[in-house]
Amino acid sequence: MLIFKMHRHHIIASIAFYCLVSLAISILLPTNPATAGWMDDFIREGTKAILNSPNSGNNQNDQGVNVNRACSSAFLRQPWGQIACIFGGSLVNMLGQEDQRELADSTEETIATGRDSGWSNPDTGVEGKVKVTGTKVNRQTSEVAVLDTVQKLPPLDLVAGEFRAISNANIVTGPGNNYRSVGYLTKGQIVQVIAKVQNRGWYLLSQDGIGSGYVTSNALKPTGRIKVSGNSPKPQYQGQKKVKRVRVETKQTCKTIEQRVTLEDGSTHRNSVEACPEPDGTWDIA
């Protein structure tokens, strides 16, 4: 489940996109009952997702939009549903289902790692490449929500990535071995990381968008994704905790991502997005 936020100026454009698509469906396939039912879902769920996005003013939950929640089954059961939801559909209608999935996976990997990625599909003749074409560093004071057991919050480099535990490790209340243990990871577990402590080998873990404790960087390896697997066991914590909000110096590195697709006929098409990690472990996609 890729997590992202929508800018205000995308809300109107997104509603217009859904309306245009639904109008086209109604014109092309007006007598198909199955299509008509799906179209009703499309309009209802799409508009609800947009209006309830974090920046729309109608949602009090500032944890970002989860694609699996915002796009609903009405979107995701379509071949192009996930990628259309994430990137606005500019390349979707040019690609089949397999290439849509490749584009989504390659984009996610490049956002997460900063490295070039791509694919070549001999069956469809489609080739794609995704790369970072620029970065912008923002140094700012951010409000970070953490469990009240977190004792210290030093300056952070925002990461917002998925990691795998490569060894068993304690979750501690501060960035150091001298802090109290409040939980543990077991080898192979998948976790979400909010940030890395600046100039230190410690990661701040996320529990539903809230900083929950620190793990040494030696115990974690990035998966190349910016999602948490839903079927993975969660980190184990001791008891229920309260949440506090702390203002802290953060470094946010935004990435300009270029998606380039070459079709079987040799034509090349491009799309660009900007992706910025946020203090709640989400990615802001513009």
> With bands split at pLDDT 50, 70 and 90, how would you rate the model's confidence at 284?
confident
pLDDT digits (tens, 9 = 90+) for 220-250: 999 988 853 344 455 555 555 689 999 999 9
- Residue 269 — very low, low, confident or very high, per pLDDT cuts 50/70/90? very high
Provide the pLDDT confidence category of residue 215 given band limits of 50, 70 and 90. very high
**Cα–Cα distance for residue pair 217/226, rounded to 1 Å:** 17
Clarify whether residues 8 and 105 are in a common domain: yes
The domain spanning residue 212 has which CATH number? Answer: 2.30.30.40
pLDDT at 54 (0 to 100)? 41
Q: Which helix (H) or strand (E) holds 277?
A: strand 268-277
**Final residue belonging to a domain, choices 122, 137, 172:** 122
Domain hosting residue 177, numbered range: 145-246
- Are 11 and 115 contained in the same domain? yes
Q: Are residues 105 and 156 in the same domain?
A: no
**Considering the chain, what is the average pLDDT of its residues?**
77
Is residue 263 domain-resident?
Answer: no
Which residues lie below 8 Å from residue 17, measured CB to CB, with a gap of 6+? 88, 89
- Calculate the alpha carbon distances from 242 to 30, 108, 231 in Å: 53, 32, 25
> How many structural domains compose the chain?
2
pLDDT tens, residue by residue, 156-198: 999 999 999 999 999 999 999 999 999 999 999 999 999 999 9
- 87 with 168, same domain? no
- Which tokens go with 1? 């489940």
Within this chain, do residues 242 and 185 fall inside the same structural domain, yes or no?
yes
- The pLDDT assigned to 1 comes to 47
Note the pLDDT of residue 26: 53
What percent of the chain shows pLDDT beyond 70?
63
Q: Tell me what pLDDT residue 25 has.
A: 52
Q: What integer pLDDT is reported at residue 79 of this predicted model? A: 43
Say how many C-beta atoms besides its own lie within 10 A of residue 96's C-beta: 14
Give the closest residue to 72 by CA, choosing from 61, 82, 64: 82
Final residue belonging to a domain, choices 58, 91, 122: 122
- Averaged pLDDT for residues 81-99: 67
Q: How confident is the model at residue 129 (pLDDT cuts 50, 70, 90)?
A: very high
Give me the percent of the chain exceeding a pLDDT of 90.
48
My answer on whether 184 and 103 are in the same domain is: no
- The answer to whether position 285 is within a domain reads no
First CA to last CA across the chain, in angstroms? 18
pLDDT computed for residue 94 by the predictor = 85
Q: Is residue 164 part of a domain?
A: yes
Radius of gyration over every alpha carbon of the chain, rounded to an integer in angstroms: 20
Same domain, 11 and 117: yes
Q: Which of 36-50, 85-99, 236-250 has the highest mean pLDDT?
A: 236-250
Domain assignment present for residue 153? The answer is yes
**52 or 137, greater pLDDT:** 137
Write down the pLDDT at residue 17: 57
Question: What's the whole-number mean pLDDT along residues 254-261?
Answer: 94
